Chains A and B, each alone.
Chain A
Amino acid sequence: MELLAQAADFGTYGKWMPPNLSVRGGAIDQLIEILHYFMAVLFVGWGIFFVYCLVRFRSGKGGSAQYHPVKGKASKYAEVGVAIFEAVLLLGFSMPVWGEYKNDPPPADKRVEVRAIGEQFQWNFHYPGPDGKFGRTNAKFIDNVSNTIGLDPDDPNGKDDIQTIGALHLPVGRPIYVRITSKDVIHSFAIPTMRVKQDAIPGMEVPVWFQIKEGATTANLLKSKSMNEDFDTAKTNWYRVRHLVASKDYADKSGQIILAEGAGIGLSRDAGEKKLKQLREAGIDSINMHPENPLEVICAQLCGNSHFKMKAQLYTYDDAGFEAWKKSTVPEVIEEF
């Protein structure tokens, strides 16, 4: 229960920005926040002057307009002020954060490395395995089911490599180094909760790195208060809860379970709306739900007709959990959807 309280601080979906689970993401959030305060001050100040002018100088009041221009330096000061503040934002906030994102990769022996290969319409991941070396890849070995990245079977470095489709497994608290590329068109590797986004461009391999906050494991998140939300069965619609599952059993008066713990509301809209109706009719006006899996990798660059569905599940573990996951994978290929 200690962890639950800790995990509850990570934030929730649907309120302003998505939860931030990365160590450096806070700097981005802070910059966005400062910018919006700055914008609000400018806009409100400007707006007050604007509205005051509209009221005071309306034609209904009679008299004639002033030909001679207002003499005053206020506008100059305001403009210079804006320019200086922009310079501060650029030099003081944006550049250091960007520099950290770009210039200072974690040392090779300390990081967890993984390749992310985009294709229409899925993310493929490639782990180097225990030897820490990625096997060679070649287009001629590509097999759409068992070897989507085209790993060369003759390369000794590749023997212990792990491939996954649509599932990214990462440890918390350690630097993660993702090399991003694409097999076909341009994709963009994005994890909203990690404040990470990088285009996946065919013919290029661009790395990004980030670190997941301590304690932000999938298991903890599922238990956290912020991910467990109450929904009014009369007001919510299927779209809002389509990826969520019930946090406990819901039964009608006769004790028949309508929505079991861990079960979703329905995969199709029809089924979902029916289930919601059933819950309402059983007198259940509020249900507590949480995401089936709280973290996702998405594609942020238009890549074709199913672009919107191109996503992968992100699973985070503590060190022990991550090791256990690695052991559980057979050396050749694993598939997860």
Chain B
Amino acid sequence: MSDHSHELPFWKKYIFSVDHKVIGIQYTVTALLFLAFGFGLMLVMRYQLAYPNQPLPGVFASVLSEPVVGEVTVNEATGETGKVLTGDGYNAFGAMHGTIMVFLAIVPLAVGGFGNFVLPLQCGAPDMAFPRLNMASYWTYLCGGILMLFGFFVKGGAANSGWTSYPPLSLIATTGQTIWLLGMVILITSSLLGSVNFIVTAVQLRVQGLSFFRLPFFVWAQLVTSFLLLLAFPPLEAAGLLQLMDRVAGTSFFDPGGLIISGVERNSAGGGSPLLWQHLFWFLAHPEVYVLILPGLGIIAEVIANNTRKPLWGYKSLVYSAIFLGFMSFIVWAHHMYLTGMGTTLSTFFQATTMIISVPSVIILTCLVISLWGARIRFNTPMLFALSFLPMFAIGGLTGLPLGLTASDIHLHDTYYVIGHFHYVVAPGTIFAMFAGVYYWYPKASGRMMNEWLGRIHWFGSFVFINAVFMPFFFLGMAGVLRRQFDQTETLHGAAVQGLTVMATWGAIGLALAQIPFVINFFWSMFAGQRVGANPWKATTLEWTAPSPPPHGNFDAVPVVARGPYEYSVPGESEDFSMQATA
């Protein structure tokens, strides 16, 4: 089998590949680039927030141009000028930061990257069920991503109505919004292709002996995620289509009619509903939260089981909780809309479901932390990321409580508290899980280890600075500072806590610097990392049975599974790990 793959020309093997591992790596690298880009947008915004209307530092000023930045006089005496972010530029960066991070970085990294690379291996499959569909999914994603970026170059700049694109604001926005909608439709198509593939693979391609309850938790997490993508994304696709029609075909799905835009009545038939968009959008976007977090939890479970050298505590509870989370995530969406004028009946329902959905999350976190009891914890880089994930994810989860209850939401709604809450879930949460995953599976993908000390420096810097960025957000939110504000010092309560914003900005700069060791490590280890065999971490799941890196077709012989996924330190065994595959 492996001989055969050598006959493929380079472009077929590495560019237009149908091999799930190559596609997984393509997804990972592309998504990491988008992650860096989205982070860059954020740095520019943070600079403006900390130092409102002051010229951007040279590195940003040189690459940015109209309409994102405008020229201002820095020094009246000398006539020296500098470039300052504009209100539209800030809004465009904000909208694109959100869109890129969610749809172009985290989901493709978590699902497209890790899911693609690891899931078939953990199922003992030779590839995904539909390899060519898999390739189509990646290329569709790339096209959608490039189209999104193209938005920056159209007249008026990229979409600037927030990543939520609430109409009517988005209906009267510049061309960038149309590009955004087209990009979203393409990205959603890519996700659908991917999720069908994942589900079929996980259900049909499990090798002999690998019953559902012997699947690693990671596979379960991907399976639930895929169902969420499959069922939650189409309504957004429909909504995107409707908004597109509103913008280009003169319909009025989200336009109630009689809007006076800058003194001129908007020409439309009216009769639409701005809230309809919010319902359709959040019907996707709440399950999307679990799409962002579940694969991360899957990675954390793998890394923790491996480095505690003992079975995961409550494996079945974890699985049931993930499934329950998936179901519940479809009926909590309106908790994003408490302040649209919702009455008591509806709000009670959505508050109740929101409280209920917190229970499985608590169970998952409890299972993971109780797994530490009686362990023999190895503190390597993936484990450090996984362990620091736990408390930060807990902060993210807990701070959801005041937002989920309508009464406290009145004060905290649309403030930095919200930003802090979901960033703690996704940034110190999912992104830390992604880093854990990169360090954990790098030897499998490349056949070489990443450098441990560079990894630890990377972890330490990231851990310190990511908290420096996001912890102030809770205090800013308490003080009532709103999100999506170009300059918070325009308000009394905002000006009073400007210092916290400055702190967060310096945290972000530190966080950027802390990624340097990772970048060096990533490329350096590709050529100079220590070579390893099939199972460097002494792990149990099926991917560690295949050679590192696995050839096209994955396994030398089709594995047969004899036991559960986390049989570590089984009494009476000579080694402290018993692999799933026999022989």
Interface residues of A (CB under 8 A from B): 13-14, 16-18, 27-29, 31-32, 35-36, 38-39, 42-43, 46-47, 49-50, 53-54, 57-59, 61, 63-70, 75, 78-79, 82-83, 86-87, 89-90, 93-95, 97-99, 101-103, 119-120, 139, 142, 144, 150, 183-186, 188, 190, 192, 195-199, 201-204, 206, 237, 239-243, 269-270, 291, 294, 296, 298, 300-309, 311
Contacts and interface: CB of A to CB of B under 8 A. Distances in A.
Contacts of A269: 53-54
Contacts of B570: 67
A311 B490 contact: yes
Nearest to A66: B374
Contact of B568 (A50, A65, A94, A202): A65
B411 A17 contact: yes
A223 B486 CA distance: 31
A90 B352 contact: yes
A50 B372 contact: yes
Given A198-B339, A296-B493, 12 more contacts: A32-B402, A43-B395, A66-B310, A66-B569, A69-B311, A70-B370, A97-B407, A98-B344, A184-B259, A243-B492, A308-B490, A309-B490
Contacts of B274: 186, 201-203
10 contacts: A57-B308, A58-B376, A59-B309, A66-B374, A86-B355, A94-B405, A188-B339, A203-B274, A243-B495, A307-B486
Contact of A186 (B166, B355, B376): B166
B407 A98 contact: yes
Contacts of B168: 184-186, 202
Contacts of A38: 401
A82 B394 CA distance: 13
Interface of B: 52-54, 76, 86-88, 90-91, 160-162, 166, 168-169, 172, 256-263, 265, 273-275, 308-311, 313-314, 339-341, 343-344, 347-348, 351-352, 355, 358-359, 362-363, 365-366, 369-370, 372-379, 387, 390-391, 394-395, 398-399, 401-402, 405-408, 410-414, 475, 478-480, 482, 484-493, 495-499, 568-571, 576
A98 B335 CA distance: 14
A305 B91 contact: yes
Contact of A95 (B261, B348, B372): B348
B23 to A, nearest CB: 36
A286 B87 CA distance: 34
A199 B313 contact: no
A53 B375 contact: yes
Closest 7 CB pairs of A and B: A203-B256, A14-B496, A305-B87, A66-B374, A97-B407, A206-B341, A53-B372
A39 B358 CA distance: 13
B339 A46 contact: no
Nearest to A17: B478
A55 to B, nearest CB: 9
A204 to B, nearest CB: 7
B358 A57 contact: no
B417 to A, nearest CB: 10
Given A14-B479, A144-B263, A54 B492 contact: no
A209 B202 CA distance: 54
A29 B256 CA distance: 36
Nearest to B569: A65
Contacts of A61: 376
B340 A294 contact: no
A270 B76 contact: yes
Contacts of B160: 305
B355 A87 contact: yes
B362 A28 contact: no
A59 B482 contact: no
B408 A42 contact: no
Contacts of B411: 17, 28-29, 32, 192, 195, 197
A64 B576 contact: yes
B497 A14 contact: yes
User: Which residue among A38, A86, A240, A303 has the maximum number of chain B CB atoms within 10 Å of its CB?
Assistant: A86
Contact of A102 (B169, B343, B413): B343
B378 A59 contact: yes
B198 to A, nearest CB: 30
A53 B407 contact: no
A202 B259 contact: yes
Contacts of A303: 169
Given A308-B87, A308-B488, A59 B339 contact: no
Contacts of A304: 87, 91, 169
A194 B360 CA distance: 36
A83 B359 contact: yes
A165 to B, nearest CB: 14
Contacts of B358: 82, 86
Contacts of B374: 57, 65-66, 70
Nearest to A309: B490
